[in-house]
Structures are given as C-alpha cells and as structure tokens.
Amino acid sequence: MNPIEDVVCDAAQVALLRALDGSHMLIAVYDADDRLVFSNSTFNHAFRLDGETRNLTFSDLILHAAIHQCGPRIDRGNALEFIADAQTRRRRQPGQRTFATDLLDGRWFWMTETFFETGWVIVVGSEISELKQNEQALVQARDRAMQEAQTDPLTCLANRRRTLSHLEHAISTSVCSNLPLAVALIDLDRFKSINDCYGHSAGDAVLKDFADASRNVVRRSDLVGRIGGEEFLVVLPGASADDASDVVERLRREVSDRRVRTDAGALVGYSFSAGVCELSAADDSGAALRRADSALYAAKRAGRNCVRVFKRPGALVDNRAGSDGTNARLRRWWPSAWHAVKRLGGRESPMR
C-alpha cells in the first residue's frame, strides 16, 4: 500500500483515511491518468495487492484480478470486455455514480465513484453482503410462494388458476401472431370407482402417474394443468385440431399401457376420455372450453377411452381409425335429433 502521506498532506484527511483503512470498506484513489495512488487494506486484500501499486492503472488492476481470480465477478469471464464497458461509464463528467457489485469471494459492496474536475477519482465501497443475502432470501421466498400459488400440490402440474390464465395469454398471442391454437379437455374414466375400490391413496397415485405421463408426451410448448378433481386441460399453442388430436392420442395410448401399484400391492390400470377443440379468432376461453367439453362428452358417450375433436360448430369428429362417423352424420343431417340426444345425455355424473 502506498504511504498515505504521499497522497495527502492535511492532518485531518490523513487521520480520516487511517480510520477508514481497517474498516469493511473498499477505498481507492485514482489520479487523472487513472493510476491507483492509494488503496486501503480492505481493497488490497480484495484484489490481492502487495507492495508498491503507484503505476497500476484501472485496466491493469482488472487484468491482475482476472489472472489471480479475485476482485469483482466478471460476466462471461472476459476481462477486456469488462474494462471496455467500465471505461465507457467512468469519467464521463464530474459527479458520482453508484452501483452494486459482487466479488469472487462472495461479498457484495455498494460502490460510490466520485469524479472530480481535476480528473481524480475516489472509489468507496460499503459492504452490503448481509443485505444482499436477505434480499436474495426474500426473492427466493417470493418465487416459491408464486410457484406454489400456481401449482397443483398433488400432481405438480399447473393449477386451475394458472392454466386458465395461460389459456387467456395463449389466445391473445394466437390472435396477434395469426397462429393456430388448440385445447384438449381430459377426464379420467371411472375415477370414482378407483377411489371406491382401492382407496383415495390409489386415486392420488393415478393422478400423479397421469401427470408424469403427460409431461413425457406433450410438446415442450404445451401446458398441462389440473383444473378439477380428475379433469385436466392441455393448451397447445401453434397446434391445429389434428395436431392436438395426435398429441392427445399418443398420451391416451401411453396411459393405457401404464399400471399403478396401490399400497396393498394391487396393479391398477386406468384410461381417459378427451375432447379437442381448435380455436377461431373470435373465440374466448369460455367458448373454447365449452366446445372442448362438448367433444369430451361425445367421447364419454362413445364408450370412453377415446379422443373426439370439435373442429367447428356442426362437426364433431371421431379421430379413431375405422370410425363410421355416426355422431357427425347425425348432427349434420338430423340436427333436431342430435340436440335431443345431447339433452338426454348431457348430464355430467352418469357420463363420467
């Protein structure tokens, strides 16, 4: 460290700098040529400076720190980029600038650089490590709370609130980008029977197993959410009705091969029915869900364990190979009969 007396003459200033020399503050003074003419012990320790530092410039200091793995944390590890960026901010005009920086040793400092008309610079850094740790803890706690508020605790899928919010956002994006959007409403078949026969723990295991299967099958851009007891909604951005049907059909085949072991050791199989709907530009979330629900009930009426597609008003499509399309023809040619059947079969509990 340079002798303080070589930098200042006034006794009061000497006393002040000596008092600060042993504190938890970084203090450095640069002359008009950007040479380090004074640095206190805390600064020297942070940058691993030993002995004479009179001819060390700011750029030299950063390169020294990069070589010895000390001093400030440098984004992307490029010391030359760091120096070039810092130099664009320093010495613009007399005054002060403040910023937070973290060191490689894990400490955080609130830095104040004071620029004088003479070209000299005084740098003072106050340690804020404890404040930063508290801030990070609060941010992490907030993020956890937000995640928990948006996540179904049993399946770890998106909960109803997050799923419907995501659907609203996907609709807006689809309209702005003129890209297709589809949704699929999925209901596990005879789920109440699983709870009644094997217990609610077995039902919970089935729900978790379905969640695992859906994560493995759907596209990365899709979102699967649990919106009811055994009811799930899949939002498929950029997917047509046929695209969405293919995704859900793959999931249906995957689920049909899976078995869940109960606490008593029994192996339980399960299936689901699904209704798929492609949205039009005029559709809102309510319209989309109503159409998907209509297609879902068609799947239930068809015997469950299948996928139905509602492509447009007036055309419910069976996506299974070999279907005779009876429901679609009935709706097309005898609409009054179709609506009569729909009224008779539209009650929820018998169908699910």
- Please report the pLDDT score of residue 177 as a whole number: 93
* Domain assignment of residue 142, yes or no: no
Query: Which helix (H) or strand (E) is 316 found in, with range?
Result: strand 315-318
For residues 14 and 86, membership in a common domain is answered with: yes
* Domain assignment of residue 141, yes or no: no
For residues 80 and 188, membership in a common domain is answered with: no
For residues 156 and 96, membership in a common domain is answered with: no
Counted domains in the chain: 2
- Please report the pLDDT score of residue 346 as a whole number: 40
* Domain assignment of residue 139, yes or no: no
Sheet of 25-30: strand order equals 36-39, 25-30, 121-127, 108-115, 95-102
> Quick one: average pLDDT of 27-39?
91
- Please report the pLDDT score of residue 38 as a whole number: 87
Q: What is the DSSP letter of 179?
A: -
**Backbone phi, psi, residue 261, to 5°:** -90, 130
Q: How far apart are CA 261 and CA 270, in angstroms?
A: 12
CB 131 within 8 A of CB 139: no
Q: Which residues are catalytic?
A: 230
Higher pLDDT: 170 or 9? It is: 170
Q: For the chain, what is the mean pLDDT? A: 84
Domain extent for 94: 4-132
Q: Of 132, 162, 188, at which residue does a domain stop?
A: 132
Q: Say which range, 3-17, 125-139, 321-335, has the weakest mean pLDDT.
A: 321-335
DSSP symbols for 212-263: HHHHHHS-TT-EEEE-SSSEEEEEEET--HHHHHHHHHHHHHHHHT-EEE-T
Q: Does residue 333 carry a pLDDT above 50?
A: no
Query: Tens digits of per-residue pLDDT, 210-260?
Result: 999 999 999 999 999 999 999 999 999 999 999 999 999 999 999 999 999
> Quick one: average pLDDT of 268-287?
94
* Domain assignment of residue 73, yes or no: yes
| Strand pairing category for 272-278 and 307-312 | parallel
- Please report the pLDDT score of residue 77 as a whole number: 75
- Please report the pLDDT score of residue 25 as a whole number: 87
Alpha-helical runs (H) found in the chain: 11-21, 41-47, 58-67, 79-89, 129-150, 160-177, 191-198, 200-217, 241-256, 285-301, 326-333, 335-345, 348-351
- Please report the pLDDT score of residue 10 as a whole number: 66
Q: Does residue 339 carry a pLDDT above 60?
A: no
For residues 343 and 314, membership in a common domain is answered with: yes
Could you tell me the pLDDT band of residue 75, with boundaries at 50, 70 and 90? confident
Query: Tens digits of per-residue pLDDT, 289-319?
Result: 999 999 999 999 999 999 999 965 544 445 5
For residues 197 and 342, membership in a common domain is answered with: yes
- Please report the pLDDT score of residue 92 as a whole number: 72
For residues 223 and 346, membership in a common domain is answered with: yes
- Please report the pLDDT score of residue 147 as a whole number: 82
Higher pLDDT: 343 or 195? It is: 195
Query: Tens digits of per-residue pLDDT, 173-221?
Result: 999 999 999 999 999 999 999 999 999 999 999 999 999 999 999 999 9
- Amino acid identity of residue 321, one-letter, is A
* Domain assignment of residue 143, yes or no: no
For residues 167 and 269, membership in a common domain is answered with: yes
Write the CA distances from 294 to 14, 55, 221, 316, 328, integer angstroms.
84, 80, 25, 9, 13
Q: What residue has token string 């002995």?
A: 51
For residues 101 and 166, membership in a common domain is answered with: no
* Domain assignment of residue 288, yes or no: yes
Percent of the chain's residues with pLDDT above 70:
82
- Please report the pLDDT score of residue 51 as a whole number: 67
- Please report the pLDDT score of residue 184 as a whole number: 98
Higher pLDDT: 350 or 183? It is: 183
Percent of the chain's residues with pLDDT above 90:
62
Q: Does residue 17 carry a pLDDT above 90?
A: no
Q: CB neighbours (10 Å) of residue 28? A: 24
For residues 158 and 126, membership in a common domain is answered with: no
pTM score: 0.60
- Please report the pLDDT score of residue 330 as a whole number: 35
From the CA atom positions of the chain, what is the Rg in Å?
33
Query: Tens digits of per-residue pLDDT, 79-135?
Result: 898 888 888 877 777 889 999 999 999 999 999 999 998 989 999 999 999 998 898
For residues 222 and 78, membership in a common domain is answered with: no
